[in-house]
A = this chain, B = another copy of it.
C-alpha cells in the first residue's frame, strides 16, 4: 500500500497509451523505457484492454499481468512491481484495440508550475473469501479502500472524475455451492462477476457519499439498482483475490500535463454524453489521450424504445455485445478505436448506461 500522505500538492502524473500486439507484447513499453521517456520505477497503475472474452475464463488478463510484473521486476524492482495497481479489462470486441494505459506519479519539482490538472490515488484491499464476494462486508471493505485512495490522491469527493476497481470472481464452481456452511450469493461463475462488480461499485458510492452504507440492505446487491455510483467503474477477473483501486481527479495544485473530465451515458447510444465528456476537459479533440467508459446491455431489453436481443442470445455473452456497441459509438466520435470500454455496470450508473471519463493533454 502506498503511503496516505497528502501527495497531491506536489504530485506530477503522466499518462502513456501504448498498443499491444498480444497480451504478452511489451514492445511499445520497452521502447518507451529504453528511450527514457518513461521511468518504470514511477509507474503506479496500469489499465489495460486485453483481447480475451472478458468473462470467466479470460486468461489474457492474467497473462498480461504476469508479463508486466516480470518485466517491471527486472526494469524497476520487485517492490515497485508488486505495488502497482494492475487493472486488465478483458474484451476488445469489434473495433476496440488492445492497449495499455500507464500512469506514473512522481514528486513535482518546486519550479514546475501548478495548475488545475490530473492527480491520482491507488489502494489495494485485503483478499476476499469466495463467500464474501457480493456481500455487505465487501461493500464496506471497498468503501474504506476507495476512501484511502481518494486521500492518497489528495482529493475530495467532488473533484473525483473516475474510479476504477478491479475485483475478484469465484471460479471454482464447487466452492459456489457451500463454503463452510455459507450459501454464496451467486450460483455460477459468470454471475459471481456481476455480484463482485456490484458490491465494489456500491463501496465506491459509499466512499463518495453518493449513498450511505445504511441505505444498502444485503438483498439490494444486484437487485435494487436505484442505488448506484455516478463515478465508479468495476471490472472482475480471476487473476486477483482482492480489489485494486485507482482514483482519478483534478486538483488545483497538479503539475501534470493532463486533465480529466467525465459525463454519464444514459444509454448505449448516448452520443451527446460522449461529446459532453470530451468537452468537459476543455481541450480540443486532437488532445484526447484516452476514453474510459462502462457498457451494459440494457436489462429492460430495450434501447430507445426498440427491443434488443443481447440478453436472449445464448451464443454470445451480453457483456461482450455491450462493449462492442459502446466501443463503436465512442470510437466513431473520437475517431480512435484504441479506447478503454469495460462491461458490466451493476450499480454503476443508470440501467443500461454508464460513466464515461476522458483524459486530455493540456
* Contact (Cβ within 8 A) B321 A93: yes
A116 at the B interface (CB under 8 A)? no
Closest beta carbon of chain B to A59's beta carbon, Å: 5
Q: Chain B residues near A326: list those with CB within 8 A.
A: 328
A5 at the B interface (CB under 8 A)? no
- Contact partner, A307, options B66, B97, B335, Cβ 8 Å: B97
Q: Chain B residues near A269: list those with CB within 8 A.
A: 95, 328, 331-332, 335, 337
Q: SS class of chain A's interface: helix, strand, loop or mixed? A: loop
Known contacts A174-B300, A174-B301; A189 and B63 CB within 8 A of each other: no
A317 at the B interface (CB under 8 A)? yes
* Contact (Cβ within 8 A) A24 B66: yes
Q: Chain B residues near A302: list those with CB within 8 A.
A: 174
- Contact partner, A172, options B94, B301, B304, Cβ 8 Å: B301
Proximity string of chain A (189-226) to chain B, C-beta cutoff 8 Å, 1 when within and 0 when not: 11000000000000000000000000000000010000
Central interface residue in A24, A303, A307, A326, by most chain B CB within 10 Å: A307
A177 at the B interface (CB under 8 A)? yes
* Contact (Cβ within 8 A) B67 A307: no
- Contact partner, A173, options B21, B96, B311, B320, Cβ 8 Å: B311
Complex-state Cα separation, A81 to B64, whole angstroms: 21
Q: Chain B residues near A97: list those with CB within 8 A.
A: 303, 306-309
Residues 293-339 (chain A) with a chain B CB within 8 angstroms: 299-304, 306-317, 320-322, 324-329, 331-333, 335-338
- Contact partner, A314, options B187, B190, B299, B322, Cβ 8 Å: B190
Complex-state Cα separation, A308 to B51, whole angstroms: 9
Known contacts A24-B66, A59-B59, A314-B58; A98 and B309 CB within 8 A of each other: yes
Chain B residue nearest in CB terms to A52? B59
Q: Chain B residues near A331: list those with CB within 8 A.
A: 269, 304
A53 at the B interface (CB under 8 A)? yes
Complex-state Cα separation, A1 to B271, whole angstroms: 45
- Contact partner, A59, options B60, B324, B325, B332, Cβ 8 Å: B60
Closest beta carbon of chain B to A268's beta carbon, Å: 6
Chain B residue nearest in CB terms to A300? B174
Complex-state Cα separation, A336 to B302, whole angstroms: 11
